[in-house]
Amino acid sequence: MRKILLFLALLFISISCFSQSRYISQTTKKIVYSRDGGTCRCCGSSSSLEYDHIRPYSCGGNSDVSNIQLLCQQCNRSKSNSCTCKVHNKRVGTNCCEKNTTKKSSSTSSQCTGTTKKGNRCKNKTTNSNGRCHLH
């Protein structure tokens, strides 16, 4: 009986982990490509296009059509985890993470630059000058 309950609990946890994903379906990609006219929403380029989360995934953004936009590789890379394309100094996102960090008065936090055991980037926030959280 315990093994069955454990199996069901693990199954439920694994299903709930996949409910919010960075994955963007082909249907969503087609709708976004058509809506954005096949061009970067920042600079208008039509080469090296990528699908970008308007509200960053790391800040709770989902992969719905309303939260996905086309950006060229250069604009998307410069935007990173913010709302602004640093190449063109143009706002290309909404409800970004920096709105949540204004509560701190004396120091600002940033995402840890360390990596996890699996090789992924650490998602912890840190105020250390070395850019790493207490785990790294």
d(CA 85, CA 71): 10
27 vs 97, higher pLDDT: 27
Closest CA to 71 of 46, 91, 95, 88: 46
For tokens 């963007």, what's the residue?
Answer: 24
Q: What is the pLDDT of residue 130?
A: 72
Q: What is the pLDDT of residue 136?
A: 63
**Residue 14: pLDDT band with limits 50, 70, 90:** low
In this predicted structure, the answer to whether residue 36 has a pLDDT above a threshold of 90 is: yes
Q: What is the pLDDT of residue 113?
A: 76
CB 135 within 8 A of CB 126: no
CB 63 within 8 A of CB 21: yes
Average pLDDT rounded to a whole number, residues 37-63: 91
Give the model confidence (pLDDT) of 67-115 as tens digits. Answer: 999 999 999 999 888 888 889 889 888 767 654 443 433 456 777 777 7
Q: What is the pLDDT of residue 42?
A: 94
In this predicted structure, the answer to whether residue 124 has a pLDDT above a threshold of 70 is: yes
The H or E element that residue 52 is part of is strand 49-53
Query: Which domains are seen in the chain, by residue range?
Result: 22-92 (1.10.30)
Closest CA to 93 of 50, 42, 49: 42
Angle at 41 between CA 40 and CA 42, to 5 degrees: 90
